Chains A and B, each alone.
Chain A
Amino acid sequence: MTVVVGPTTTVERIRRPFRADVHNVRSTPTAKALLAGSVVMAVASCVANLSTVADSELSSVATIELAMHSSTVTTLIFSLIAGVVSSTADFRFGRIDQLLLSEPNRAVLLAAKVMVGAVVGVVYGVIGSMVAVATTASYFVANGASLDVGSNAVIHPLIGLLLGTAMFGAVGVSVGTVVQSQPAAIAGSLAWLFIVEPTALLGLPDVGRWLPGVSGLALTASPNPDLLDQIPGGILLVCWFVFSLAVALMRFRRSDF
């Protein structure tokens, strides 16, 4: 009987499925299509919002915030969906069998998948930031204005976007692990973000501002006065992430495949 020496540390144990999941994300067309969709939608949303502003007001702080906000919201949503898709694809195509046969410890496997979700989110955040700045600057230049890239109106939303997309990507993996059905998880996430949370924020702002999607908006320094400030928004989003991870772990441990 061959003596088998396994991975000696938890870090090594997480590293293996992490690398496998990165390989999955990189080698499937869905991830690339979603990223392309995110860029297109961020540009379109930014231009559509800027086109409603008079040329004389282009360089105002409020306009810059609006431009940043329109791009960051789109990127946040796509990073969440990317996390959902990466996670539910494992269940949809039965890849979870192969991952569990390689790493039977479900907590370790989930940790690796959540980290991949966060990394994918950061990639979305970096690209989304570049798209937001490039689109806004181009629009400003085309309309005779200029964008101060170093201003707080630009920097604060972009820092929030990087952190927010990492969290949204990770939350997406948790949501996908809980729901497991890909169509249901995507439809549920979009319904939550486009119907439940906006309705709650409009009807009951004291409740709505504490919801996860809205806390993501707060983290990206959204100009909406009903939201929490950027740092409390970020802390609240971390709490939502921890909550989603706990539920996902519970569900994953109890699932039969």
Chain B
Amino acid sequence: MIAISVRSLCKDYGTQRVVDDISFDVPYGAVTGFVGANGSGKTTTMRAMLGLIEPTSGHTVFHDSSYAALPDPRRSVGAVVDRIGAHPSHTARQHLMMIALASGVPRSRVADCLAQVGLGEVGDKRLSQYSMGMMQRCALAAALLGSPPILMLDEPANGLDPGGIRWLREQMRGWADDGRAVLVSTHQLAELAVIVDRLVVIDRGSLAFAGPIQELDLTSRTLEEAVFELIAARSDSALGPNRVLR
């Protein structure tokens, strides 16, 4: 069953096309990796999917409607975007409370989610005193507030220590095994290789691959090698970096 359906998504900034006609699906019950080099357009694509950026053309459907038309977005889609979006003087608890109030989620979920991401005992510490890894856990807690069946995580492992990365991998696998759809973007393929079911590869704003990892033929190479070969093959073609529109 399809959780997210992206169709012909394009985003231009002036004459620069940074996302070029991207289409892919994200099913429930699977971890879908969204990979590409830094600056390849992953964050722009995810923000456009969530309506934070207005796409130049194309659309994204979550289950059966756009993000803006979801009756209670936080209960349908949990997102970690590239910035935590919190006032530095706030504590993690205050930050999550703000989100809970804005989304109509019961306040009791704040403590539940802080505990779930391992911040239960430091929830009343100011975010300005948090390490990057703790900030990422706080961002994850925000995504989980509405207990959504769809999770979109943009570089969630940034700043996590090896133990944190392992914890995150287990969480993502668990969410997918519970039937949730997990779309996770990263530029570090090693993080994903262990748990990913499907892959979407983006290169210089356009789609290089979308499908189950079995289609990549990993019998004699690693996932990382397969993706690099895909991108290298495209570099030999006529595509330049971020196409300029006429």
Contact residues in B for A27 (Cβ distance below 8 Å):
87, 89-90, 94, 98
Contact residues in A for B85 (Cβ distance below 8 Å):
93-98
**Interface-side segment among B49-57, B164-172, B197-205, B231-239:** B49-57
* A2–B149 CB distance below 8 A: yes
Contact residues in B for A97 (Cβ distance below 8 Å):
52, 81, 83, 85
Minimum CB–CB distance for A98 against chain B, Å: 4
Over the window 46-84 of chain A, the binary record of Cβ atoms lying under 8 Å from chain B Cβ atoms (1 yes, 0 no) is: 000000000000000000000000000000000000000
The docked-state distance in angstroms from the alpha carbon of A49 to that of B242 is: 62
The docked-state distance in angstroms from the alpha carbon of A83 to that of B109 is: 30
**Would you mind naming 12 contact pairs between A and B with Cβ atoms under 8 Å apart?**
A1-B149, A4-B70, A6-B71, A6-B104, A7-B72, A23-B94, A23-B101, A24-B87, A28-B87, A98-B142, A100-B51, A102-B73
Given contacts A5-B71, A19-B101, A102-B102, 4 further A-B contacts (CB under 8 A): A6-B70, A94-B85, A95-B85, A103-B102
* A104–B68 CB distance below 8 A: yes
Chain A residues near B (Cβ < 8 Å): 1-2, 4-7, 12, 16-17, 19-20, 23-24, 27-29, 89, 93-105, 254, 256-257
* B74–A102 CB distance below 8 A: yes
Contact residues in A for B72 (Cβ distance below 8 Å):
4-7
Smallest Cβ-Cβ distance to B50: which chain A residue: A101
Decide if B103 is an interface residue (CB 8 Å cutoff): yes
* B83–A24 CB distance below 8 A: no
Minimum CB–CB distance for B181 against chain A, Å: 10
Residue from the list B53, B75, B87, B99 in contact with A93, Cβ < 8 A: B87
* A98–B52 CB distance below 8 A: no
Smallest Cβ-Cβ distance to B48: which chain A residue: A256
* A16–B68 CB distance below 8 A: no
Interface centre among B63, B79, B98 (most CB of A within 10 A): B98
Decide if B160 is an interface residue (CB 8 Å cutoff): no
Decide if B34 is an interface residue (CB 8 Å cutoff): no
Smallest Cβ-Cβ distance to A95: which chain B residue: B85
Decide if B175 is an interface residue (CB 8 Å cutoff): no
Minimum CB–CB distance for A114 against chain B, Å: 16
Interface centre among A20, A28, A101, A103 (most CB of B within 10 A): A101
Interface centre among B67, B73, B87, B97 (most CB of A within 10 A): B87
The docked-state distance in angstroms from the alpha carbon of A100 to that of B81 is: 12
Decide if B88 is an interface residue (CB 8 Å cutoff): yes
* B63–A257 CB distance below 8 A: no
Over the window 21-38 of chain B, the binary record of Cβ atoms lying under 8 Å from chain A Cβ atoms (1 yes, 0 no) is: 000000010000000000
* B63–A1 CB distance below 8 A: yes
7 residue pairs, one from A and one from B, having the closest CB atoms:
A6-B71, A20-B102, A102-B102, A6-B72, A94-B85, A102-B103, A104-B68
Q: A19-B101, A20-B98, A256-B52 are in contact. Are A98 and B86 (CB under 8 A)?
A: yes
Residue from the list A95, A101, A104, A257 in contact with B53, Cβ < 8 A: A257
* A104–B75 CB distance below 8 A: no
* B67–A104 CB distance below 8 A: yes
* A7–B54 CB distance below 8 A: no
The docked-state distance in angstroms from the alpha carbon of A39 to that of B237 is: 67
Q: A4-B72, A105-B68 are in contact. Are A28 and B102 (CB under 8 A)?
A: no
